[in-house]
Chain A
Amino acid sequence: MKMISSNKLTDGRVIFWTGAGWSADMKDGKVLEDDAADAELEAALKDEATEVVGPYLIAVDGHDPAGRERLRETIRLTGPTTGSTKYVHGIKPGTEA
């Protein structure tokens, strides 16, 4: 199974293709059958004109990163695992609920 991920053009934040647009929440991401993924990526690539940078396919297991790039994609999803900005994605450090 696959999903399409990208970075938002204006601020670089990690986003996922929902089928109709983009969401920062992976749970909104559209899960694709492997053989449908390339065609869907073609559609998502149109948004590179003004909205996103470099959309690409990631392997998923349900709505979680999977496969060889699982660690990399998990870090993209949840943020640095340590250090000055260990944080819940999208929330500034020190303001975590």
Chain B
Amino acid sequence: MEKTYETVIGLEVHVELATKTKIFCGCSTEFGGEPNTHTCPVCTGMPGSLPVLNKAVLEKAVAVGLATNCNITRKGKFDRKNYFYPDNPQNYQISQLYFPICRDGKVEIDVDGEKKFVRIHEIHMEEDAGKLVHDSFTDTSLVDYNRSGVPLIEIVSEPDMRSADEVIAYLDKLRLIIQYLGASDCKLNEGSMRADVNLSIRKKGEEKFGTRTEMKNLNSFKAIARAIENERERQIDIIESGEKVIQETRRWDDEKGYSYAMRSKEDAQDYRYFPDPDLVPIIVDDEFLDTIKRRQPELRDEKRIRYRDEFNIPDYDIDIITNSKKMADIFEETIALGAEPKKVSNWLMVETMRLMKEHDRDADDLSFSAKNLATLIDMVDKKVINGSVAKEVFEKIFTEDIDPEKYVEENGLKTVNDEGALTKTIEEIVAANPKSVEDYKSGKEKAIGFLVGQTMKAMKGKADPGEVNRILKEILSK
């Protein structure tokens, strides 16, 4: 029964653009300010104030459009979407209905090796709303307009996805493109990327779409997957029991694992869109377009191909490293400072991944500098420190981005290269462990490991294990 239905999914993705200022005024977009300290007459909708478009918003929107294979609208404008709600001080949101900046794009997704295109219907620019906090003590709502007027793009896909896996692959693709462009940090859990899921079901083989619902409040990939599964089941139940799915907006409660209707089509809002007379038309000419095209950085797919050609590292490593622009940047910068690609990749794939897990950190949150990693690799190459000391120092680099040279100096972690001192210590160890010496001499090769370990311990870890091995064998062969 279940299998006879096909899920049809389209996405509306809002992305907060990483500009310094808001879309129509010179207020800061910085997070974490005291309420209403980043506001002015424009972003609080004072009568008589005049919005002026932030050029960086247009540039970033066009850059995303080009990277997602869209046609760029050469003559565009802004429209007013009218609705009353306290988070929207103008009583309208400035958005684009009639001439969105980008149209008819597509991106390729890959689910377990199966590739397909998801078409993009349009991308438009708009402004974010303020924040409402309900105060139960006074039973009123407190409004903070710091986010009001923060620039957004809304990316509207065609209903081309058929499973939660495809949805996640599509979102991940958008995230990587936009992060690589530097247009946004795209964090679902922090709200700089938000996805609304439009979902309907139909019998397999049927042409006609079923009635769709729109799901809101999806803050993680896990929540999206769960909400899709849940909504599919809900709609199948409705249809199986002979009822009809109602077109409505639903809100997902991830903790309770179900959704509830917010508003249905019957009382859907009539937004009465009309052109915003305060904002002049936008003409995108060839020169503007060429400038953006020239500025487009290398995107992930191109980077993967280049890494394969340039560096001798496995595809698996390439995928992990390029899955975050931050990590790819660290990788390339460290190599540019002279480190061997294979060694840099090892530090990222092994120690960095381990510490990320331990500290519950995303690759996007990596905060150590390429310079310190390059120095560390150089110190190991030159045998200034040994491998286990290097791991200890790297942990400090990972957490506090310390300068490894200074740290090693201050904590006396340098490998002792004084052969006289090392030989003396080894002679003592040999004298104190006659049993192991005998074992070794009678052919138990493994016994040397114990003696090396004892020496390293006596040297407080600051010896080069290779050296210890060499000297030890010399002494034992006497």
A in complex with B: no
Q: Which residues of B contact A (CB under 8 A)?
A: none
